[in-house]
Chain A
Amino acid sequence: MVNKKPASVPQPPSTQSTELLRELVAHLSEHRTQLREEWASRITEAQLLTAMTKDEIFAEATSVYDNYVEALATGTLEALQSYSRNLSERIIPRGVETHEVVGIVLLLRDVLARSLFAKYQGDFTKLNRILDAYEPAANRIANTVAVGFVQERERVIRQQQEAIRELSTPVLQVRERLLILPIIGVIDPQRARQLTEQLLRGIRTNRAKVVVIDITGVAAMDATVANHLVQTVEASRLLGATVIVTGLSPEIALTIVNIGVDLGKMNTVGDLQGGIEQAERLLGYKVIPVEEATAAA
């Protein structure tokens, strides 16, 4: 996430271009208000950052502009880097896309370059030298902001993946010695592994005799994962628990047949209700309506 490399714009070797850069910064500071406004209106025109209000765009534009000019002046990108991380943190939850962030930074580069054209249009050699100093620095800044945004985004995605993984595998006890394990969503090998571990641990701690694994919420699984499911069933048996698999979709049934699993080893029932009923039978429970029970007594 944090770029460990020392972030700095390579200083142009000659003092001359340092001089030019200084002149450039002076120009940008001088025309701050005007350029900033132009930039903000270009952003609105290009229909970027539609998730934000005009005022917000202007406020962000101001701080980006100042950071941008500062990065040009000092030649270090650290402040800009931390600002862009901070900005990303704020705008990602609001649905701002990568292309928008890259777009606005490129727009700013554009707006500034145009103002340079306008200023030095009489002196072509000078304009060239100014652009020589300006462009590499501007590119590096654009790069930094875009990379900061993407890194922040990746961090958010990783965080969410972990959260989903933790949430997605409950092992629930519905009756003494009867566990259910509802599986919803896509099972990848890693999640399959985690499921197995949790189930085996659950069998031990709850002293379960019967487990119903419900995969109604799983649309498809590949051969690896199907194999893993079969292994889970066998491992549970080694702990003395019977596994009933319910809610197999036609696709999964086909996968299981294709990989050639011995169905004698797998106890399958159509739906979760049927699975729980069979589990109750195995455990010796009999569910009867209250009226019948009182009539019989």
Chain B
Amino acid sequence: MEVPILKQGRYLIATIQAALSDEDLLHLRRALLERVIQFRSRGVIVDVTALDVMDSFATRTLRDITYMIRLRGADTVIVGIQPEVAFAMVQLGLTLEGVATALDLEEGLAHLERRARSSS
């Protein structure tokens, strides 16, 4: 199932709406990179509120997306990780090292705004 990517000003918002297969994740990675280049976006928000499971492949892909987007000079924030999911991830050692996280979409946007202000 494809993840819709919305453009909101200088930011992109990708809301994952259901559990994704590995293929879907790779597709999301490619699509996000393309859009960042296409729209010259400053930041990307990936909303995972709807996910009640995050396996190691999903975690790694999200981390890769963040690193790749950073190489394009943009920031990525993962938002909406559920408390249970967060705890399970940590127990599995999937801590999303070096990846910014925020409570929800609003917080994620605020985070990107702050980053934009501090770098300009």
Contacts and interface: CB of A to CB of B under 8 A. Distances in A.
Nearest to B77: A240
Interface size class of B (residues with CB under 8 A): 20 to 34
A235 B84 CA distance: 9
B90 A234 contact: yes
Contacts of B79: 240
Interface in B21-41: none
B103 A238 contact: no
Interface in B50-96: 78-79, 81, 83-87, 89-91, 95-96
Nearest to B111: A240
Given A234-B95, A239-B81, A197 B102 contact: no
A231 B83 contact: no
B87 A240 contact: no
Contacts of B90: 231-232, 234-235, 238
A241 interface: yes
Contacts of A236: 86
A175 interface: no
A207 interface: yes
A80 interface: no
B15 interface: no
B101 A231 contact: no
B107 interface: yes
Given A197-B83, A235-B86, A238-B96, A203 B91 contact: no
Contacts of B89: 235, 238
Interface residues of A, number: 18
Contacts of B101: 237-240
A231 B102 contact: no
A241 B87 CA distance: 13
A232 to B, nearest CB: 8
Contacts of A77: none
Nearest to A207: B103
A204 interface: yes
A196 interface: yes
Interface of chain A: mostly helix, strand, loop or mixed: helix
A69 interface: no
Contact of A239 (B91, B95, B103): B103
B83 A204 contact: yes
Given A197-B83, A200-B86, A201-B83, A231 B91 contact: yes
Contact of B103 (A196, A203, A232): A203
Interface string A124-166: 0000000000000000000000000000000000000000000
A231 B90 CA distance: 6
Nearest to A204: B83
A240 B45 CA distance: 13
Contact of B86 (A207, A209, A238): A238
Nearest to B79: A240
29 contacts: A196-B87, A197-B83, A197-B87, A200-B87, A201-B83, A203-B83, A204-B83, A204-B103, A209-B103, A231-B87, A231-B91, A232-B90, A234-B90, A235-B83, A235-B87, A235-B89, A237-B101, A238-B95, A238-B101, A239-B81, A239-B83, A239-B101, A239-B103, A240-B101, A240-B102, A240-B107, A240-B108, A240-B111, A241-B103
